[in-house]
A and B are shown apart, each in its own frame.
Chain A
Amino acid sequence: MADIAVQGLSKVYQSRAHPDGLLALDNVDLAVADHEFVCLLGPSGCGKTTVLNVLSGLEQKYAGEVSVAGRLVSRRNGHSFRVGYVFQEPRLLPWLTVRGNIEFALESESIPGSEWRKRTDNWLNRVGLADFAESHPHELSGGMQQRTAIARAFAVDPEMLLMDEPFSGLDELTARTMRELLLALWLETRKTVIFVTHNCFEACFLADRIVVFSPRPGKIRKEVTVELARPRNYEDSRLFELSVSVTHYVTGKQAA
C-alpha cells in the first residue's frame, strides 16, 4: 500500500478534431494518504479517468510529477509497484475462465505460480464466485463479470486500487450490492483506493474524501471530507443531505 502524490498534473490531448490540443487536466494537485479511500467526482469528460491512466502508467505523456509511495512514476518504464485496476467494463479475456483471468493478472505481476490457486480461490470466495471459477465470462451476468474484475484487482495484492466508474454499467440494485461488497473488502484490506465516479451519492457512500472536478479543463473545484462513520447505511439521512450538497458543488449551483 502506498500514498500517492500528484503535483501540477496537466494533460493536453492532440487530435484531428482539436489540432491545437485539448486541455483535459489543468494543473491538478492531489495527495492521497496510505489506506485512504478517495473519490474523484465530476461530470463526464473532466479528466478523472486521465488521472487514473497517469497513475497506472497507461498515459505517459503529461506535464507534472506523480509519485507513489515516494517513488516517482516513470514515464518510460511504467510502474514498479502493483496496481489493481477495475475498469468501467469488466475487461475479462473471453477465452479464459474466471480462474484463468485472475491467474493471468497474477502471472503478469510475476506472482509465483505456487500461490495462484490459493489466492484465486480466496478472492473468488470473497466476491461470492467460488462456484464459477471454471466458467467463462460470457456465462456470467454483468454483475458477476464485474465481481470477477474486482477479485482480479484485489488478488494481485495491489499497492493502490484504481477504479473507473466500475458500477456505472450495472443496474442500481446490483450496483448497491457491489458497493457494499467493495466496502467490506476495503475495510478488511485497507488498500489505498482512488475511485472515479460521476454519481454523487455513490461517492458519499464510499469515500473518506471526495475530490470534485470542474468540467473541461479538469481542475479541482472542491474537496469534501466525509465524516460519516463506517459501516454506512444507504438509508442514512445524513448521507442523503451530504449527497445533495456535493451535487451542488458538482453542478456549480452553489458557490464553493
Chain B
Amino acid sequence: MQQGGERVAIVTERAFPLQQPSKLRWLRIPEAYSIRIASLVVLAIVWQLASLAFTERYVPGPVSTFSALWDLATSGQLMKHFEVTMIRMLVSFALAMLVGMAIGTVMGLYRRAEQSLDLIVMVGLTIPGLCYIIVAFMWLGLNDRAAVLAIAWTTFPAIAINIWQGVKAIDQRLIDMARVFGASGWRRTVRVVIPQVLPYLMAAARFGLGIIWKVTVLVELLGRSDGIGYMLNYSFQMFNMADVFAWTIFFTIVMLAIELTILKPIERRMFLWRPEIRA
C-alpha cells in the first residue's frame, strides 16, 4: 500500500475543512477560560462602579446583592421558591419535549404531515408566550395546571422545528447500507437513525430550556403566588432593588450550573467523535 502518500492526504483532504488541528485545540482551552474569567471580573468591576455612580438604592453593588442573596437563602425563601420554579420548569420541559418530538418526527417522516403542520408550527412559534399564558389562565384558572400547560405550549413549536429538521436530515444511504449488511429494523433505528438525530435533539433541548427559563418566571409573575417569578414581582412591588438583583443573580447561577454540569458534559460525550465541537 502507498501509505506514505495517503498519510499526507489526511492533512489536506479532510471531510470537515473548518476544524482545527488537534494540537491547537488543547492550547486554546485554557486561553478561552482565562478570557471568560477576565470578562466576569471586568463585569463585576463595572457593576461596582455603576453602583458607586448611581447609589446603592438604584444599582445595588455586588456586596449588597450577595448579602441579600444570603439573607434569602438563610430564611429558607430561596429554596422554597426555587423548588417550585424548578418543578414547573421540568414538568413543562418534559411535556414540551414529548409533544415537540412527536410532531417533529411525524413532520419529518411524512410529506402530508409536513404540509398540514408546518404553517401551524410556524404560527405557534411567532405568537408571544404571553398570549398563551393569559389564555391558559383564563380558561383553566390561576393554577399550576394552566401554568405548566402555558409554558409547554409556548415551548414545543421550537422543539418540533428542530426535530423536524433532524428527521429530514437523516441520511437514507446509511440506512440502506445497514440493511444490505443485514441489520434488523430495530438495529437500524437504534444504531443508524437515532445517532443521526441526536445533535438535533440536543439543539431542541437547548432551545426549549432557553425559552422555558424566560416563560416560567413570566407565568409565575402573572398567575402564581410562589416561585422565582412571583418573588421578583414581589421585590419590584416593594421597590427592593437588592432582592431583584439577588433573584436575578441566583437564576443566572442556576442556569449556568445546569449548562456546565448537565448539558455540556452530555454534549461532549455524545459528540466526542466530532472534531468541530469544543468545550
A residues with a Cβ closer than 8 A to B are 56-58, 78-79, 82-83, 85, 87, 89, 91, 93-97, 104-105, 107-110, 127-128, 131, 136-144, 152, 156, 162, 177, 181
Contacts and interface: CB of A to CB of B under 8 A. Distances in A.
B182 A110 contact: yes
B278 to A, nearest CB: 15
Contacts of B16: 138
A91 B195 contact: no
A56 B180 CA distance: 6
Contacts, number: 80
B6 A141 contact: yes
Nearest to B12: A141
A192 B274 CA distance: 37
Nearest to B177: A91
Given A93-B195, A94-B273, A177-B2, A78 B179 contact: yes
A58 B180 contact: yes
A85 B174 CA distance: 12
Contact of A83 (B6, B181, B273): B181
Nearest to B15: A138
B89 to A, nearest CB: 31
Contacts of A136: 273
Given A91-B173, A141-B9, A108 B183 contact: yes
Contacts of A83: 180-182
Contacts of A144: 6, 9-10
A104 B195 CA distance: 14
A109 B178 CA distance: 10
17 contacts: A83-B180, A89-B173, A91-B174, A91-B176, A91-B177, A93-B192, A94-B273, A95-B195, A104-B183, A107-B187, A108-B187, A138-B15, A138-B16, A139-B10, A139-B14, A139-B275, A141-B6
Given A138-B14, A177-B2, 8 more contacts: A58-B176, A83-B181, A95-B195, A108-B187, A131-B3, A138-B16, A139-B10, A162-B180
A58 B6 contact: no
Interface string B5-36: 01001100111100000000000000000000
A46 to B, nearest CB: 20
A87 B173 contact: yes
B204 to A, nearest CB: 19
Instruction: Pick the 9 closest A-B CB pairs, nearest first.
Output: A128-B1, A141-B9, A108-B183, A138-B15, A91-B177, A85-B180, A105-B181, A108-B181, A95-B273
Interface size on B, as a range, is 20 to 34
Nearest to B198: A95
Contacts of B180: 56-58, 83, 85, 162
Chain A CB count within 10 A is highest, among B173, B179, B192, for: B179
B147 to A, nearest CB: 39
B21 to A, nearest CB: 11
A82 B182 CA distance: 8
A93 B182 contact: no
A110 B174 CA distance: 19
A108 B178 contact: yes
B191 interface: yes
A110 B10 CA distance: 33
Contact of B181 (A85, A89, A94, A97): A85
A128 B14 contact: no
B172 to A, nearest CB: 11
Contacts of B181: 83, 85, 104-105, 108-109, 152, 156
Given A56-B180, A58-B180, A82-B182, A181 B195 contact: no
Contacts of A57: 179-180
A144 to B, nearest CB: 6
Nearest to A95: B273
Contacts of B177: 85, 87, 91
B191 A104 contact: yes
B9 A143 contact: yes
A87 B176 CA distance: 10
Contact of A141 (B1, B10, B173): B10
Contact of A138 (B1, B3, B179, B275): B275
A131 B183 CA distance: 27
B13 A142 contact: yes
A66 to B, nearest CB: 15
B215 to A, nearest CB: 34
Contacts of B274: 94-95
